Amino acid sequence: MLPDDFQPERYQSLLDEKTRKCAELFAPYTHLLPTVLSSPLEAFRMRAEFRIWHEGHDLFYAMFDKDNPKQPLRVDSYPFGSTTLQKLMPALRSAIIHDPVLRERLFQVEFLTSTTEEALITLIYHKALSDEWETKARYLAEALGCHIIGRSRKQKVMLDQSSIGERLNINGQDYQYRYYEQGFTQPNAAINIKMIEWVSQYLKDSSRDLIELYCGLGNFTLPLSRQFRRVLATEIAKSSVNAAHENIALNRIENIAIARLNAAETAQALRGERVFKRLATLPHALGDYDFRAILVDPPRAGLDEDSLHLARTIDTIAYISCNPETLARDLEQLTLTHSVDAWAVFDQFPYTQHTECGFILSKRP
């Protein structure tokens, strides 16, 4: 989001327009009105990345307009960013602008923050990072009260840790998470909480089980586990699987099993078409599960054929989508066997055209 996009006076009209377009797109599959979950007007974005632009003795954060990608747009303030992020941006610039070791060939800065006011800054360089750089960076981390990682080609310097803590209150209960550098996290914490609470209204069956595809670090998995007998969550990225295991342990939850499978492999395993050694350590055999519900949160490409087939065999489907176009494509298949019970618009990215949606579908008798 570019600084000029910050137009709080237009927020509601922009959200109304996004909602209208989604309603038109989904009209063939439902005539229900959506739940619209609005964002805070500012300080909502928990992570951001900026190019660092050098002009003589000056140095500043920069972004680029896709219509003019060679012209840097100077960013002196970023009202979208969390309060922690907004505080760190000028402090970091002031600290490095006159320090030749820290500023030399600095190419990009990435900020990761949490609602608990922890922060991790990644400084990315076009040079090898020396012992002198590490010493300077340690002083910088202490002065800013945050964690710092340095990166350059084939080099990563982690001064103390590569993650920060997050605590989200969901349906009146606190959940702890570890968020890792370069791992996926939901960008808008306020909308993330609303999104999980919206899904939790419809996924409740303490006597049966939930299967989740694309579970990531356990964002949905942890709170939804309270509402089911067992949860089997799958994710292909090894780093996300490790983070999910850590988050399960942090919250002392005992009814979640994580399998490192992609969505298609999960469907094939459940149909008995393939046997995976990666499933050997699960506390329960696949045949012991009784899946009443499935949660999918796929990438922009949407669901593959195997995943669609799997979803259509399960009573309740919760589909979280970051791409309304592929969601509409998948609804064409899902609504052959299921009806739409509810849908929602999640305004993860205010002031942009980007829209996230959620659908709840139940199997027809």
Q: Which of 322, 325, 332, 357 is catalytic?
A: 322
Q: Which of 193, 217, 148, 245 is nearest to 46 (CA)?
A: 193
What is the residue type of 1? Answer: M
Alpha-carbon gap, residue 9 to 341, rounded angstroms: 33
Contact of 188 with 38, CB cutoff 8 Å: no
Q: Please give the helix or strand (H or E) that residue 341 lies within, else none.
A: strand 338-346
Q: Is 356 one of the annotated active-site residues of the chain?
A: yes
What is the residue type of 336? Answer: L
Tell me the backbone φ, ψ of residue 320, rounded to 5 degrees: -100, 130
Contact of 164 with 114, CB cutoff 8 Å: yes
Q: Which of 118, 166, 265, 356 is catalytic?
A: 356
Q: Is 22 one of the annotated active-site residues of the chain?
A: no
The residue to which tokens 């298949």 are assigned: 333
Torsion sign over Cα 143, 128, 239, 346: positive
Contact of 248 with 255, CB cutoff 8 Å: no
Q: Please give the helix or strand (H or E) that residue 135 lies within, else none.
A: helix 131-144
Cβ-proximal residues to 159 (8 Å cutoff; 6+ apart), any chain: 134, 137, 138, 141, 147, 148, 149, 150
Residues designated catalytic: 322, 356
